[in-house]
Every structure is written in structure tokens, then in C-alpha cells.
Amino acid sequence: MGYRVEVQVREVRGKCTMGYRPGDAFVVEKFYIKDAEKGVCIHALAAMLTLLSPFLKGVPAAALGVGKERNINYAWCPEPRNARNVQGEG
């Protein structure tokens, strides 16, 4: 049995290569990315994988020690073009 996970963009700092903006979303279900019309870059996927695997099996964020709310957590996309902005240099 697989769970359905909705991934929603909360904030974009710098520039998202794929063009995602706050509020954009896609679904991951049974280990397949669905409804990602813009695609998903490898950087964002890497940031989400450690959360997606347990979430797709029904493990809540609190049980992983990564969130207070059962079904919500945040991942930061390590887009290399934005590294200067993240470090406060840009």
C-alpha cells in the first residue's frame, strides 16, 4: 500500500531552474512523480528523497523527528545557481 504525497512550493529564494513559484505543486504516489508539468530537477529530487520514501510508506514527520505536524515537513532545494544567495553573499 502506498500513500499519496503532495509536494508544494512554499518559497523560492533566488531562481528556480524549473520555473516553480510559491503555490505550485505536484504529486508523488506509489513512487511515481505525477502532475509535474514543469518536471523536477535532480537537485530538488535529492532534497526530497529522504522525506518522500518514509512518507510514501505512511511514516509521519514527527516519527522521523523532522516535524511537529504529522503530515508536513520542509526541504530546501540546493539549486547550485542560488548558493551565493543562501550564503548571504548575493
| Residues 9-68 pLDDT 10s | 999 888 888 899 999 999 999 889 998 888 998 888 998 998 898 999 988 888 888 877
Looking at residue 69, its pLDDT comes to 75
Strand order in the sheet with 32-34: 4-8, 25-29, 32-34
| Residues 39-53 pLDDT 10s | 998 888 998 998 898
- Classify 8 as helix, strand or coil: strand
Domain containing 30 equals 4-86
**Strongest mean pLDDT among 43-47, 68-72, 81-85:** 43-47
Domain count for the chain, please give it.
1
pTM: 0.78
* Distance from the Cα of residue 57 to its chain's centroid: 16
Mean pLDDT value across residues 80-84:
65
